[in-house]
Structure 1
Amino acid sequence: MGTHSGASRTHPVVVGVSPGQPAHVVLQAARFAAQFQTELVCAHVNPGRFSTSESPDGSMLTAPIDPDFADEREVAFDTRLENSLSEILADSGVSWRPLVIAGDVATALGHLADTVDAAMIVVGTHERSFGGGIQEFFNRSIAVNLAHSQLRPVVVIPARAPGGDAAHTAPTVPPAPAASA
């Protein structure tokens, strides 16, 4: 993980991360963290699990909603996503940490922000396409739900980077491979 000497651990910036997300969403969140001289918390929400207990740093013990389909790999932060975040944030100069949380995405991100007393929550949108239209609908709902339920700023970063530079719109990690039949 990256470090920034003398970085304060107070009021971190929380950014929601997921496979396939544009890299510039995380980079913009890192810029905010650098400006606030604070930590960046890269939170991935697993909606198929729920929290059974949590720590003051926002980390959780979780259980699957449906124990018949439990997969213990869901408990740990995705290694490919973490490696991709490491590459993206390598030159950012900010201290950051990955965190897996559970539950409804908007509720979980809002609760995490409350738990760590975040300066803000950063979320991104997805590219527009037929499938992206459905994702966009749900992402807009996440941003709207956060905006209506939070007392802290919610920053929504568009899917396309300013100028539409393809290098800045590369996903943080490729989507998971499809299971073979």
Structure 2
Amino acid sequence: MTEPPASSSPTLNGPIVVGVMPGQWPAVVEQAARLAASAGLALVFAYADVTVYPVDGTLGGPAAPIDPDGVDDVAAGFPESLADDLRRQLAPFGVPWSTVLLAGEPAHALAREAANVGASMIVVGTRGHRLSATLKDLAGSVARQLLRRQDRPVLVVPVDSRGADRHDEH
């Protein structure tokens, strides 16, 4: 009997960075949690605030509003309602997780965070379930920008925009 050849693919050993936003369908979080649980990895849920930009280009550093007249509080923090949703969705999975608030354009901010934490991969969602919506979303989306610029895997989870209670048709 011969042994299978050693795999040349990289192992998953860093956390999984997941792009999230308030009101997002649960499929993205659930798929990321399943993957993390099966691989024994932690999750880092990242929310990119597009109304601010990193002043010195570093993560976690000072941020300033893009429109100083339109933003009252730059240091609002990770949205509490989003953190509550994550706690509820992740309870059944028992995986370690954390949150991080990022500043600036989401694709760039997610890529910076993934590099900063040595992420195994980045997980993001689409805006629609149908193939046409998914392809349209990829044409100018955060997912597309990540796919074009990343040297690490990017998992794009199609989400069901038809409604959370509706099941797939057979």
> TM class by shorter-chain length?
0.7 to 0.9
What TM-score do you get using the length of structure 2 for normalisation? Answer: 0.77
**In structure 2, do the counterparts of structure 1 residues 165 and 74 end up closer, same or farther at CA, with 3 Å as the change threshold?**
same
Is this contact kept in 2: 1:125–1:158, CA < 8 A?
Answer: yes
1:137 aligns to what?
Answer: 137
CA separation in 1, counterparts of 2:87 and 2:139?
24
Instruction: Provide the identity percentage.
Output: 39
* Distance change >3 Å, CA 24–CA 49, structure 1 → 2: same
Structure showing greater relative contact order (alpha-carbon pairs closer than 8 Å, 6 or more residues apart):
1
Q: 1:139: how far off?
A: 8.0
Runs of 4+ in 1 over 4 A off after TM superposition: none
Change beyond 3 A, Cα 1:44–1:139? farther
Distance 2:51 2:138 in 1: 16
- In 2, the alpha carbon distance for the partners of 1:111 and 1:157 equals 21
CA-CA distance at 1:69 after TM superposition: 1.6
Which one has a larger percent strand, Structure 1 or Structure 2?
1
Between structures 1 and 2, the one with greater helix share = 1
SS of residue matched to 2:15: strand
CA shift digits 1:67-116 (9 cap, x unpaired) = 11223266311111111110001111111111110111111111111111
2-side partners of 1:34 and 1:46: how far apart? 28
Which secondary structure state, in structure 2, belongs to the residue aligned with residue 68 of structure 1? coil
- The CA distance in 2 between the partners of 1:21 and 1:98, in whole Å, is 15
Residue 155 of structure 2: aligned partner: 155
Shift of 1:21: 0.9
Q: Is the 8 A contact 2:36 2:43 kept in 1?
A: yes
Residue segments in structure 2 that go unaligned for 5+ positions in a row: 1-12
In structure 2, do the counterparts of structure 1 residues 139 and 74 end up closer, same or farther at CA, with 3 Å as the change threshold?
farther
Aligned to 1:110: 111
Q: TM-score, normalised by structure 1?
A: 0.72
* CA–CA distance in structure 1, aligned partners of residues 152 and 29 of structure 2: 19
Residue-pair matches, total: 151
SS at match of 2:55: strand
Deviation at 1:62, TM superposition (A): 1.6
Greater C-alpha radius of gyration: 2
Note the 1:1-181 alignment, pairs <5 A: 11-52=14-55, 59-72=60-73, 75-127=76-128, 137=137, 140-160=140-160, 166=165
Does the residue aligned with 1:97 lie in a helix, a strand or coil?
Answer: strand
Structural RMSD (CA): 2.9
Which consecutive unaligned segments of at least 5 residues does structure 1 have?
A: 1-9, 170-181
* Deviation sequence 1:119-176 (CA, Å, 0-9, x none): 00000012369xxx6xx63785211110110000000000129xx872789xxxxxxx
Question: Partner amino acid for 1:28?
Answer: Q
